[in-house]
């Protein structure tokens, strides 16, 4: 009975990886032209979301599904918006945004806040339980390295997915005041240009998906991914802000006010807001070109 369950779980992971791989190679416009194909992916997102949020399976069993879901959203979210899918409305995008944000530990969210600490607690519990099973310090070091790489891979995929989710009608009313979760997340990326990229983990394990390093590119973030050694969060912030403004032109005046205010602060105090102001100006000049 256990072996049948293990085979069933392994098959489910492989299916999720097939969805992920196909999504990463979908041509622009295909979801609009192929409604049945689009419905299959909407169903995958809905079912995987439900599996992750309601499953009683172990933490490690859910990690491949977190990664697959983030990658599918990263690749297809703008396509769903362009196809005007009713099942991928503002409410759905907001719910996915909150889920993905909870997997990002240091950008735009705080582990200590209610609703954002569950994932980190799961990571810590899993880490403690595995340490308790082994007294070998080398094994513990190797396990910690593998777990950290796994968590970072999921975090980077989730951050790219969030950037894609921002393409479409804004689901955060506070963004019009240049505040709220969305703007805070983008600003946090601008203010922390530290290279962060996942390294992948356990490629030899058949249950483990290939945790490749991704960076969105192109106007909406739907272009082909490129595998690179270093990724800068500022580049991701530019993509996220561009996605947001492309589909919410009413936010543009508030963005310009932010640029002017930042430059006034810079001129008066010569403070560390330089990076933030220059990146907002970069977006402004990009759209004006």
pLDDT digits (tens, 9 = 90+) for 145-179: 988 999 999 999 999 999 999 999 999 989 888 88
Whole-number Å distance between alpha carbons of 72 and 232 = 21
Place of tokens 């980190």: 120
Read off the pTM.
Answer: 0.77
pLDDT at 237 over 80: yes
Per-residue model confidence (pLDDT) at position 259: 63
187 CB-side CA count, 13 A: 16
In which element (H, E) is residue 256 found?
Answer: helix 252-269
- Compare 238 and 195 and report the one with higher pLDDT: 238
Per-residue model confidence (pLDDT) at position 283: 53
- At 220 the three-state DSSP class reads coil
Q: Within the chain, how many helices (H) and strands (E) appear? A: 11, 0
Calculate mean pLDDT across residues 258-287: 49
Segment 38-55, tens digit of pLDDT: 999 999 999 999 999 988
- Compare 191 and 98 and report the one with higher pLDDT: 98
């Amino acid at each position: 009975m256990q072996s049948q369950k293990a085979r069933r779980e392994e098959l489910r992971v492989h299916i999720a990886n097939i969805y992920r791989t196909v999504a990463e190679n979908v041509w622009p416009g295909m979801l609009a032209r192929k409604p049945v194909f689009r419905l299959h992916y909407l169903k995958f997102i809905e079912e995987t979301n439900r599996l992750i949020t309601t499953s009683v399976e172990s933490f490690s069993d859910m990690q491949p599904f977190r990664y697959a879901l983030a990658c599918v959203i990263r690749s297809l979210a703008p396509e769903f918006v362009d196809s005007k899918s009713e099942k991928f409305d503002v409410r759905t995008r907001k719910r996915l945004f909150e889920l993905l944000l909870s997997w990002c530990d240091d950008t735009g969210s705080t582990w200590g806040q209610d609703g954002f600490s569950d994932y980190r607690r799961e990571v810590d519990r899993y880490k403690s339980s595995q340490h308790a099973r082994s007294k070998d310090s080398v094994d513990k070091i190797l396990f910690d390295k593998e777990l950290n790489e796994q968590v970072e891979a999921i975090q980077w995929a989730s951050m790219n997915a969030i950037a894609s989710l921002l393409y479409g009608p804004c689901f955060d009313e506070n963004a019009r005041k240049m505040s709220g979760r969305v703007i805070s997340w983008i600003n946090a990326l601008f203010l922390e240009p530290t290279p962060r990229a996942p390294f992948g983990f356990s490629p030899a394990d058949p249950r483990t998906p290939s945790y490749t390093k991704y960076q969105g590119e192109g106007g909406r973030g739907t272009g082909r991914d490129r595998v690179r050694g270093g990724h800068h969060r500022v580049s991701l912030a530019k993509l996220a802000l561009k996605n947001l403004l492309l589909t919410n032109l009413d936010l543009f005046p508030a963005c310009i006010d932010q640029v002017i205010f930042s430059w006034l602060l810079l001129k008066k105090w010569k403070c560390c807001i330089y990076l933030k102001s220059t990146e907002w100006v970069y977006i402004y000049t990009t759209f004006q070109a």
